[in-house]
Every structure is written in structure tokens, then in C-alpha cells.
Amino acid sequence: MPEQTPPDKVLLPARKVLDRYSVSDVTLWRWIHAGTFPRPDRIIRGRRYWWNTTVDAFDQEAA
């Protein structure tokens, strides 16, 4: 049986992350490679996804 994801934990596609910070894909790539933004939690069929909790934790650290 597959692992159940808690209801408050959602995978955000790269597009949602880009929109959240109003940045381009290149800027997000630079942030990741500079170590200032977390790497994607999942890569599914070449698409990048982050858990909303990962992105929220990044926001908390940056504040």
C-alpha cells in the first residue's frame, strides 16, 4: 500500500514556486545552485516539485 501523505502536505510544481516568488526559471535555478533555495523534493518525469512545508520553512528562515 502506498504511503499516505498528510492532508496539510502538498507537492508544489515549479510553476507555483516561480509564481510565489515572482521570479523566472533561471533565477530559481541560480538560487538552487547557489544553495540559497532548497533543491526539489521530488522530480517526476523531469518536472520539479517541492513540498509546501519545505517552501514554508524556507520562508520562515528567510524572515
pLDDT of residue 53: 96
The pTM is what? 0.84
pLDDT of residue 8: 83
Kind and range of the H or E element at 50? strand 47-51
Determine contact, residues 51/7, Cβ cutoff 8 Å. no
Residue 27: pLDDT above 90? Answer: yes
